Amino acid sequence: MKIAFFNTKPYDKEFFEKYNQSDEITFYEVPLNPQSIRLAEGFEGICVFVNDKLNSEIILTLQSLGIKLIVLRCAGFNNVDLNAAKKAGIKVMRVPAYSPYAVAEHALALIMTLNRKTHKAYNRVREGNFSLENLTGFDLHLKTVGVIGTGKIGEVFAKIMTGFGCKVLAYDPFPNLALQAAGIEYIDLESLLNHSHIVSLHCPLTEATRHLINQQTISQMKDGAMLINTSRGALIDTQAVVEALKSKKIGYLGMDVYEQEENIFFNDLSQQILQDDTLARLMTFPNVLITSHQGFFTEEALTQIALITFKNVSDFEKGIASANEL
Ligand code: NAD
């Protein structure tokens, strides 16, 4: 199939070229938007990523260009108007699971770095400063970790934290049977927030979960708790979190995703003036660690993303029903 890949980086090209067997693919660095959409002309399918917004207008244009298939090289699909795609007769497929370990382990990396401040120690020692002043951390052992959303990633994360000797509490409208069997306790959201030293978000972004962490739910958290978000930025009302950091209600924030990450994350903006004042404010806190949506970024995950995306294309061409269809 002839597929136009939007919003690509050199690593996308590397992995997709490595595993491509029969498709005719073209890589565009530009994101998919009203200005770039004409590049999809002459293709049958397009491949997009997390921050390409496929609203009804874009979908109608894709339909008029003859696009039959949208393949998402990611799990989340909150950026696609699925109803519009359905009406336009365009199939949408995703990669629901590629490596839950990649994201769960990144959540742990954020926790460990914020707690033990290895990023600060690294810089200090390089400058000949061997002082331990202000590097105090805490034992994870016996701390309570609240996991919101216990699907594929939340399950792996909960198991990792259990391995550290933490008490894990979970909140999910559809409890995970394997975790329940392993003795993980499911409780309501407020109780989870009340009791957790660390709260980690692993649910999808939906209308029900948008700003799940807001002024009111933050007030239910333990004073000085650590908040980790590797899921989707808009699960958090960022402005409310900034206020909670200022008042020290939230003691640590680790975020791999950000509400307004589009056009910022994944790009080298080091020579530009950052226009996002909220992100700029977040970057000033000594107890905030921001990574730019790299939770998925492991060799294993990139390999699976490429293989599953090509399998999705092939299933579509052969008319094989797929569980990856949305
Ligand atoms: P999943 O579908 O396996 O699990 C999601 C879980 O969230 C399900 O158990 C579901 O019941 C639960 N859930 C739904 N609504 C909820 C609510 N209101 N409160 C609590 N739980 C709720 O998904 P997954 O593969 O574990 O991925 C989770 C999320 O991680 C994705 O939606 C995506 O946004 C994010 N993600 C981030 C990265 C990254 O690079 N940072 C990579 C992949 C996925």
Please tell me the class of the 100-290 domain. alpha beta
Q: Return the domain boundaries, the chain.
A: 2-98+299-318, 100-290
Q: Does residue 149 have a pLDDT over 90?
A: yes
Find the mean pLDDT for residues 242-254: 98
Nearest atom in ligand 1 to the alpha carbon of residue 209 is 18
Distance, CA of 144 to CA of 316 (rounded, Å): 45
309: three-class secondary structure by DSSP: helix
Q: Which residues contact 10 (CB under 8 A, 6 or more apart)?
A: none
Distance, CA of 222 to CA of 286 (rounded, Å): 20
Options 293, 300, 317, 325, the catalytic residue: 293
Which residue's CA is minimally distant from atom 18 of ligand 1? 209
Ligand 1 within 6 A of CB of 172: yes
Structure confidence at residue 263 as a pLDDT band (50, 70, 90): confident
Ligand 1 within 6 A of CB of 76: yes
Summarize pLDDT for 159-214 with one digit per residue, the tens. Answer: 999 999 999 999 999 999 999 999 999 999 999 999 999 999 999 999 999 999 99
CB 213, CB 227: distance < 8 Å: yes
Distance 302 CA to ligand 1 centre (A): 19
- Residue 150's pLDDT is 98
293 given a catalytic annotation: yes
CB 226, CB 244: distance < 8 Å: no
Which among 190, 189, 236 is positioned nearest to 213, based on CA atoms?
A: 236
Question: Model pTM?
Answer: 0.93
| H runs (alpha helix) in 177-319 | 177-181, 189-195, 215-219, 238-246, 277-282, 299-318
Ligand 1 within 6 A of CB of 208: yes
CB 306, CB 15: distance < 8 Å: yes
- Residue 32's pLDDT is 97
Ligand 1 within 6 A of CB of 174: yes
User: What superfamily does domain 2-98+299-318 belong to in CATH?
Assistant: NAD(P)-binding Rossmann-like Domain (3.40.50.720)
Which among 268, 249, 314 is positioned nearest to 93, based on CA atoms?
A: 314
- Residue 141's pLDDT is 98
Distance 153 CA to ligand 1 centre (A): 7
Options 119, 232, 299, 325, the catalytic residue: 232
Ligand 1 within 6 A of CB of 202: yes
Summarize pLDDT for 1-15 with one digit per residue, the tens. Answer: 999 999 999 999 999
Q: 318-325 long-range contacts, Cβ below 8 Å, gap at least 24? A: 322/93, 323/96, 324/93, 324/94, 324/95, 324/96, 325/91, 325/92, 325/93
The two domains 2-98+299-318 and 100-290 share their CATH topology (first three levels equal):
yes
Summarize pLDDT for 271-314 with one digit per residue, the tens. Answer: 999 999 999 999 999 999 999 999 999 999 999 999 999 999 99
Ligand 1 within 6 A of CB of 147: no
Summarize pLDDT for 7-64 with one digit per residue, the tens. Answer: 999 999 999 999 999 999 999 999 999 999 999 999 999 999 998 999 999 999 999 9
Distance 72 CA to ligand 1 centre (A): 16
Distance 259 CA to ligand 1 centre (A): 16
232 given a catalytic annotation: yes
